[in-house]
Each structure stands twice: as C-alpha cells, then as structure tokens.
C-alpha cells in the first residue's frame, strides 16, 4: 500500500498550531483543531484589515514595506507634517514630522531611509533617517508628484498643478534633481512603482475630470508607452516593481465621486483585473511593498479622509486550506 511517508520519505507532522511561514504543498495535522491541513497557492490576491493610522488623511507620501512602512504629510483638513511608522500591526507617531507640511507629495525609500519630495505648490525635498527629516535640494519644478526608487536614487514623473498635468520627469541622485526625458502622456495624480532605472507609471488625470489608463515604462533613459490598465483612474496607489506591480483604488472619473477599490495586477506585459477589490474603496492614499505583499494606507473617498489600512497578499502566495473528503 502506498503511503505519504513512502512517497515523500517522511510522515505528516502533528502540531498544535499551523506552521509559519508556509511552503506550497506542505501538509500537516493540527492536533488542536483535529484537522489535516495543506498549504495551497492562492489563485487571486486578497485584502485583509491592518491597523488604523493615527491621523486620517489623503494625498500623503509613503515608503517601506508591508511590515515596516512610513507615511508622512498629506491632507488632514489642512496640510500636515505628521509622520507615522507601521510595524505590521500598529502605527506609531514619530516625534518629529516633516519640516514643510504639504499634500500631494511623493515618497520613496524605506522606513529608515526615505525621501519626501514635491507636493501641491511645493518643490521641497526632505530625507528621513528613521527619526528626523532634513531639508535637501528642492525639485526643479513645484508640483503634485509621485515617484519610484530609493532615498539616494529616485525618478519622479508627471504630476503638475493644472488639470492636464505635465510630462516633466526628474531624477534624484542623492544630492540634486536633474530633468530627464519627458513622459509620453501629460497627466497628474498618477501611480508609480519600481526603481530609478526601471519604473512603471500608470493612470492619472489627462484633463480633469477625464482619467487615463495609459501606462509607461522607464528604462533609466526614456519612457515607453506599454499596454494600458483595464480601468482608467486617477489617485491610484500601487506597490511592486516594473515587471510585477499591484495597482489599487483611485477614482475612475473626477466628477463621479465613485471610489470602487478595484485592483489590477501588472506582469511586465499587461494588466489583469483582480477579482477581489479593497474592503474600503479609496484613492489618494499611500501604497508600498511588493505585488505579493503590499500595504494600502489611509486615503480618501466620497465620505472624506479615511484612517484604515489594508494588507494585500498577491496571487501565488501559500495559504492554509483544511483537507476534507468533499
């Protein structure tokens, strides 16, 4: 008779609690719940509730990972300097905030080495060392902006103050900003992910309230138009790389007031709509992390600013399944 041990060379482990982390295909017996269990790969990405931020706001900057995130600035009724850190469970107010309170700013880097830049009517740039913000050289153009990269190497594309946005693109080398090749589609309130030499820019307002689904890829020297998103929207947030990004939230049309929380996945070639949307539809928040493990923080919708955080687990991640006879 063929047995599990005969096939795999070892018996099914009996444990009091489910193991972590999981390996796809892993089988065990949970002797507390009297059930055989399996680590199976997810077929779609899912959202789960995280801890609430201390200052509800939208139009904020952010950086880091799902378990070590940083948010700063934004609109909390007025521009704020508030800075908060996330440990995977709760948000903690940092004793010192930005030197310049502003909204609609960009953010890149990590929780302990971040870059905050631009914003509505602002070109100010600041670096964060894990405890304090320091003013450094400003951007060449004041504008609402998003970016991709790390504290010492960031690319910022699009943005602007007017309804049609801008094609402007700037690169940060750790000391100063330099104008680079412009993006192809002028727009503002975009989403951006990736690195300074390999970035992805998507969505935005092409002429408020008209939104765009256009997507562009940056190779370190020029922007190339690639396949568009399935749903045009502005104020979209995202996380990931140039070849593996999750985009979530946003507003399909500026005048509609509808924030559906729709989610799309980019595989380096095309966008696919994820069947699971955000629990709380919103836009103009902060996104960070990877396509497999992303964090959506704060933002706003038709009811006002929101404080809740959602954690995204991308498709392909191992999850626990109880083995049944059906």
Sign of the C-alpha dihedral computed for residues 134, 138, 142 and 146 taken in this order: negative
Is residue 14 in some structural domain? yes
pLDDT 10s digits, 305-326: 999 999 999 987 777 778 876 5
Decide the pairing of beta strands 106-109 and 114-117: antiparallel
Are residues 206 and 66 located together in one domain of the fold? yes
Are residues 33 and 66 located together in one domain of the fold? no
pLDDT 10s digits, 50-68: 999 999 999 999 999 999 9
Is residue 236 in some structural domain? yes
Nearest to 219 by CA among 190, 180, 247, 245: 180
Are residues 93 and 214 located together in one domain of the fold? yes
Are residues 104 and 11 located together in one domain of the fold? no
Are residues 30 and 57 located together in one domain of the fold? no
Q: What number of other Cβ atoms are within 10 A of residue 98's Cβ?
A: 24
Are residues 204 and 245 located together in one domain of the fold? yes
Q: Is the confidence at residue 32, as pLDDT, over 60?
A: yes
Nearest to 264 by CA among 315, 311, 300: 315
CA distance 206 to 213: 9
Q: What is the pLDDT of residue 195?
A: 98
The residue length of the chain stands at 326
Are residues 82 and 186 located together in one domain of the fold? yes
Instruction: Quote the domain boundaries for residue 156.
Output: 46-313
CA distance 98 to 48: 29
CATH number at residue 245: 2.120.10.80
Are residues 160 and 233 located together in one domain of the fold? yes
Q: What is the pLDDT of residue 154?
A: 98
Are residues 35 and 139 located together in one domain of the fold? no
CA distance 235 to 67: 23
- Which of the four pLDDT bands, split at 50, 70 and 90, describes residue 92? very high
Are residues 110 and 13 located together in one domain of the fold? no
Sequence-separated (6 or more) residues with CB below 8 Å from residue 325: none
What is the number of domains present in the chain?
A: 2
């Amino acid at each position: 008779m063929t047995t599990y041990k005969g096939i795999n060379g070892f018996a099914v482990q009996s444990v009091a609690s489910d193991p972590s982390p999981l390996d796809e295909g892993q089988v065990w017996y949970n002797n507390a719940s009297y059930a055989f269990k399996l680590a199976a790969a997810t077929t779609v990405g899912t959202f789960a509730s995280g801890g609430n931020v201390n200052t509800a706001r939208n139009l904020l900057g952010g950086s880091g990972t799902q378990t070590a995130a940083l948010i700063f600035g934004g609109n909390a009724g007025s521009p704020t300097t508030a800075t908060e850190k996330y440990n995977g469970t709760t948000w903690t107010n940092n004793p010192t905030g930005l030197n310049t309170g502003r909204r609609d700013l960009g953010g890149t880097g990590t929780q302990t080495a971040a870059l905050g830049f631009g914003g509505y009517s602002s070109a100010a740039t600041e670096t964060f060392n894990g405890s304090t913000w320091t003013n450094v050289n400003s951007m060449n153009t004041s504008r609402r902006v998003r970016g991709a990269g790390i504290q010492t190497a960031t690319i910022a594309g699009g943005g602007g103050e007017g309804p049609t946005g801008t094609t402007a693109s700037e690169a940060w080398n750790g000391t100063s900003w330099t104008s680079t090749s412009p993006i192809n589609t002028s727009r503002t309130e975009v989403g951006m992910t990736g690195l300074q030499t390999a970035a992805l820019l998507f969505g935005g307002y092409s002429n408020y309230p008209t939104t765009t689904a256009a997507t562009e890829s940056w190779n370190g020297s020029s922007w190339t138009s690639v396949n568009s998103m399935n749903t045009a929207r502005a104020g979209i947030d995202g996380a990931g790389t140039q070849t593996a990004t999750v985009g979530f939230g946003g507003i399909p049309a500026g005048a509609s007031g509808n924030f559906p929380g729709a989610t799309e996945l980019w595989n380096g070639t095309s966008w696919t709509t994820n069947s699971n949307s955000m629990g709380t539809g919103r836009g103009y928040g902060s996104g960070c992390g990877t396509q497999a493990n992303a964090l959506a923080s704060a933002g706003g919708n038709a009811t006002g600013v929101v404080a809740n955080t959602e954690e995204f687990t991308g498709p392909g991640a191992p999850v626990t399944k109880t083995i049944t006879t059906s």
